[in-house]
């Protein structure tokens, strides 16, 4: 019987917990960073922030940040 493996796609959205893991900052600071990204990209309060937007804002390589997303 062949081995079946579940394929998990790469995530598009980044959350405060992810920002905390990548930057080592507190939850409050991570939320402020996401808020700043929303403001600079013209998004509304509840809109999602993408991993690409975060990496561009923070100046972090996308491949490096993806290693921290589980």
pLDDT on residue 68: 87
Q: How many domains does the chain have?
A: 1
Residue 49 belongs to a domain: yes
- Report the distance separating Cα 32 and Cα 61, nearest Å: 21
> Residue 48: which residues within 8 A CB-CB, separation 6 or more?
13
User: Is 16 a member of any domain?
Assistant: no
Query: Is 17 part of any domain?
Result: no
What are the pLDDT tens digits along the chain (70 aa)?
A: 556 565 556 789 999 999 999 999 999 999 999 999 999 999 999 999 999 999 999 999 999 998 888 7
Domain enclosing residue 51, as ranges: 22-66
pTM score, whole prediction: 0.82
Residue 60 has a pLDDT of 95
Q: What is the per-residue pLDDT for 20?
A: 96
Q: Say what the pLDDT of residue 11 is.
A: 84
Residue with tokens 């929303």: 38
Residue 4 domain-assigned?
no
38 belongs to a structural domain: yes
The answer to whether residues 45 and 5 touch, using CB atoms and an 8 Å cutoff, is no
């Amino acid at each position: 019987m062949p081995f079946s493996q579940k394929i998990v796609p790469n995530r598009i959205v980044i959350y405060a917990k992810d920002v905390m893991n990548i930057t080592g900052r507190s939850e409050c600071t991570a939320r402020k960073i996401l808020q700043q990204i929303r403001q600079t990209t013209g998004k509304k309060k509840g809109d999602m922030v993408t991993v690409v937007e975060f990496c561009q804002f923070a100046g972090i390589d996308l491949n490096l940040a993806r290693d921290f997303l589980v």
